[in-house]
Amino acid sequence: MAKFFIELLQYEFNLTEEDINLLQKTMRKQSRTERRYYYQNLKTKEKDFIHYLQEIYQSLEPEGQKQWLDTVVQSMLDRGGDPDISDALVMKIIGPLTVYNQLRIKSETDGIKLNILVNFGGLGTVIILFGAITALVMYLFSR
């Protein structure tokens, strides 16, 4: 699914096979050498990638924009909710909250279980839980 966005970038920026392979991986699945290559070569072009994709996205009709959203959501669902680098670029254009809300809705309707802490609610829950436990411990020590 994300290959659509990578193909758009490939034609415009003449990406190599290594670039394409990195854009299809999540940051967690990259090796140390791949991350080094990414930050030295692709991260420097990220603003140009986003600008180019944003021009295309804004020129689309609402149906085309919805199709981009559906493509990103399906691509993320295929990986359990983790975005690869190309999905992350498109998420910056569409809006992360819009994508994650659609991802949550689609995963619930399709019965697909997301990886832990993928969506915004997971990390927020951990922070709130940690804060509540800390407050309880502080309260007990102050008595």
| 126 and 101 within one domain | no
In the structure, what pLDDT confidence band is assigned to residue 121 with cuts at 50, 70 and 90?
low
Q: How many helices (H) and strands (E) does the chain have?
A: 8, 0
Q: What is the pLDDT of residues 48-57, one digit of tens each?
A: 999 999 999 9
The tally of domains found in the chain comes to 2
Q: Are 82 and 129 contained in the same domain?
A: no
Return d(Cα 120, Cα 25) in angstroms, integer.
Answer: 21
Same domain, yes or no: 60 and 119? no
Residues 132-143: tens digit of each pLDDT? 999 999 999 987
Residue 94 and residue 38 share a domain: yes
Q: Please tell me whether residues 85 and 138 are part of one structural domain.
A: no
91 plus 131 within the same structural domain = no
